[in-house]
A and B are shown apart, each in its own frame.
Chain A
């Protein structure tokens, strides 16, 4: 039966680790905005060159 005590200590230690993680998450503001990050990751990151290229394309289009 001694093994059960060891197991319980292990399980509580793990649970405490998760609790600490959760508290850390709350403190660092990860729950402040629950909607923004979910859509932000879908935005395409355009490099500067791409943006400039698009602008140049557009200018050319307008000149035609």
Chain B
């Protein structure tokens, strides 16, 4: 098979597998370059199994394995878990469905569906591209469920498994599409059959008129009782609670139209208004479908459990067995391996350990702990396996208590929905009253006119345009935001965004980049720097990774005697030079200047050459953003770090911005709630779990991420890191969408008042009213859609 050659982009080498530039290191294999060992391994697997067609379908189809968290999937060996995850199982046949977020191109489909060529235990695999799902049939006697998951993960398609995620949203949607289809079908046919009526039929065609009318009546039955069913059930429910919601006038309108038309047709009085009835239901359902479509693209709800390793190795009779985290009890001995997360508060049993709390506190510097130390759950172990004794069950643990905070139960109610409902409630009563009074008046004045006027009033006043305005305006705005890298949980968030008048920023990962930048202070030749890069790229330590990334020069010299000394650094021999990279103790000096920065010293043949100072860099364009926001609203900074960065933050933040350091996750939460007590509507911009409590507490919690695959359940929205500098524009847009919504309301009301006037005075025939009603809906929907796009164009166009 022919393989495309790796292409050079000027100075940058591109990974053959994933197509991303090779920054850290270059691995060469069979004339092809790879950015990491993960990518090379995938290529090797594919090459061995003659699956290299993968690369010929789509340029750089592969999924980068550089940022993949290693997971063991050992929990998939637990019978309890297997039972939950499998869709079907028998002795020799099992069916499982995985969600794989990394599915993105033709090659993915091809490779995943050829999974059986990689492992004989797999019977069949089918990909659903739109939902990024794969259904795998396999033979459990040949490959275990965990084996399937590991096979997928090894190819870069790590399945995302959460035991709580087993719900399917599609049946509802399918029902809606079917209802829409039925309504559309009937609407079209009724319109067609009503045409002769519009043009006027002679008495000679009485028979035709009769047939058409009855056909229409027949066609409108499924529209009302199937497609419009939801409005009636909703109205009935609200009646039972002695309330009136927006669906009540719609239901009354539909019922009035249907009964009136039915009566007219059966008594041979006239053709009725079935065309407008079907049209109304059709347009209402389109609005609903549009709404559900936007929500679907943001499948958001995730359980916190999906962030924790679901299983851990527990000591059972001198043997290690994977158990589900929730079954852990106090006193259990567990073993955690490199890069795994410590699932519960516990004491350290092994001599020493390094724990990376970046998951909890945002600090990437690993913390050193020794035997007997108490540690909180949520940290990630770095280095050799360590044993722990569980102190607290997971449910009582520190992190879970933060998650279980009341802040997580945010009052998810929409202000405007309430306004609409309240307005609709009053409006409905008023409409009913007006309709009845008008009917009484006409009964006295001209009884033959009464029914006509009564229906006209009800139909014309039905506030359906009101019901459409909000979903269309917010739905469109959601799409505009999504196109610009800002993903919101739901439309209600826009409303809350518009009310924001205080913005709180978290430091790590938000104001500063998550990745550290290393600067070398001292003297090292280009070649020596290359050696350092070669060494540091062999280590998985965060500081090593940062250093490796900062060096451009590459060396081809082989490394020998490489060793990694935990908590100290790494050493190796390159071209007969003895090189050490690590702490002051490793290179044998004392660091006189106890500065705040992390320092990594380098020595060549025992001679100290200098050190790398590691810093995080401030995001581009942030200062301007903060200045722009600060004109209108107060800006705050919260940081879990020590005040060491205060000077630098002062240069970024406006002079009057409040800065608070040494904040624990709980203190951040309290800070936000204090601001709220002082009457502010707070927006919290953070990066992850260390501020998830605050994110949830805030009126709008935004998680900033440089990798859209990662998000926190507490946030209301996800903002791409490079779009953070446009945050104020999003705020502005959400304010504009409220204005648009109000204008749409205005149009709807204006229309209703005017036409109501005509209807009450008997100048509006029901037929005209029924034609005007969908037109009003369309005009409101059209207005909101156009206005949103126009407003968005104005804002996004001015992007530099």
User: At the interface, yes or no: B170 with Cβ under 8 Å from chain A?
Assistant: yes
- How distant is the Cα of A1 from the Cα of B210 in the complex, in angstroms? 13
- How distant is the Cα of A58 from the Cα of B1 in the complex, in angstroms? 10
Task: Find out whether the CB atom of A33 lies under 8 angstroms from the CB atom of B129.
Answer: yes
Task: Find out whether the CB atom of A33 lies under 8 angstroms from the CB atom of B131.
Answer: yes
What chain B residues lie within 8 Å of A8 (beta carbons)?
193, 211, 215
Main secondary structure of the interface of A (DSSP, over half): helix
Task: Find out whether the CB atom of B109 lies under 8 angstroms from the CB atom of A40.
Answer: yes
What per-residue 1/0 map shows which CB atoms of A27-45 lie under 8 Å from chain B? 1000111111001100100
User: At the interface, yes or no: A60 with Cβ under 8 Å from chain B?
Assistant: no
Task: Find out whether the CB atom of B185 lies under 8 angstroms from the CB atom of A19.
Answer: yes
What chain B residues lie within 8 Å of A31 (beta carbons)?
177
What chain A residues lie within 8 Å of B207 (beta carbons)?
1
A62 to chain B minimum Cβ distance, whole angstroms, is 11
Task: Find out whether the CB atom of B178 lies under 8 angstroms from the CB atom of A35.
Answer: no
What chain A residues lie within 8 Å of B211 (beta carbons)?
5, 8
What chain A residues lie within 8 Å of B615 (beta carbons)?
none
User: At the interface, yes or no: B181 with Cβ under 8 Å from chain A?
Assistant: yes
Task: Find out whether the CB atom of B50 lies under 8 angstroms from the CB atom of A58.
Answer: yes
What chain A residues lie within 8 Å of B178 (beta carbons)?
23, 26-27
What chain A residues lie within 8 Å of B189 (beta carbons)?
12, 15
User: At the interface, yes or no: B660 with Cβ under 8 Å from chain A?
Assistant: no
What chain A residues lie within 8 Å of B177 (beta carbons)?
26, 31
- How distant is the Cα of A33 from the Cα of B110 in the complex, in angstroms? 15
A26 to chain B minimum Cβ distance, whole angstroms, is 5
Count chain B residues whose beta carbon lies closer than 8 angstroms to a beta carbon of A.
26
What chain B residues lie within 8 Å of A22 (beta carbons)?
181
Task: Find out whether the CB atom of A36 lies under 8 angstroms from the CB atom of B181.
Answer: no
Task: Find out whether the CB atom of A26 lies under 8 angstroms from the CB atom of B181.
Answer: yes
Kindly identify which residue among A1, A34, A43 contacts B208, using a CB–CB cutoff of 8 Å: A1
- B110's nearest neighbour on chain A, judged by CB, is A43
Task: Find out whether the CB atom of B117 lies under 8 angstroms from the CB atom of A36.
Answer: no
User: At the interface, yes or no: B243 with Cβ under 8 Å from chain A?
Assistant: no
What chain B residues lie within 8 Å of A33 (beta carbons)?
127-131
What chain B residues lie within 8 Å of A55 (beta carbons)?
50
- How distant is the Cα of A26 from the Cα of B127 in the complex, in angstroms? 18
- How distant is the Cα of A6 from the Cα of B391 in the complex, in angstroms? 82
Task: Find out whether the CB atom of A54 lies under 8 angstroms from the CB atom of B130.
Answer: no
Kindly identify which residue among B110, B130, B181 contacts A34, using a CB–CB cutoff of 8 Å: B130
Task: Find out whether the CB atom of A39 lies under 8 angstroms from the CB atom of B109.
Answer: yes
- A31's nearest neighbour on chain B, judged by CB, is B177
What per-residue 1/0 map shows which CB atoms of B106-143 lie under 8 Å from chain A? 10011001000100000000011111000000000000
Q: Which of B1, B109, B131 has the most CB of A within 10 A?
A: B109
- How distant is the Cα of A46 from the Cα of B215 in the complex, in angstroms? 55
Q: List 30 A-B contacts (CB under 8 A).
A: A1-B208, A4-B208, A5-B208, A5-B211, A12-B189, A16-B185, A19-B181, A23-B178, A23-B181, A26-B174, A26-B178, A27-B178, A31-B177, A32-B130, A33-B127, A33-B131, A34-B130, A35-B129, A36-B109, A36-B127, A36-B128, A36-B130, A39-B109, A40-B113, A43-B110, A43-B113, A51-B117, A54-B1, A54-B50, A55-B50
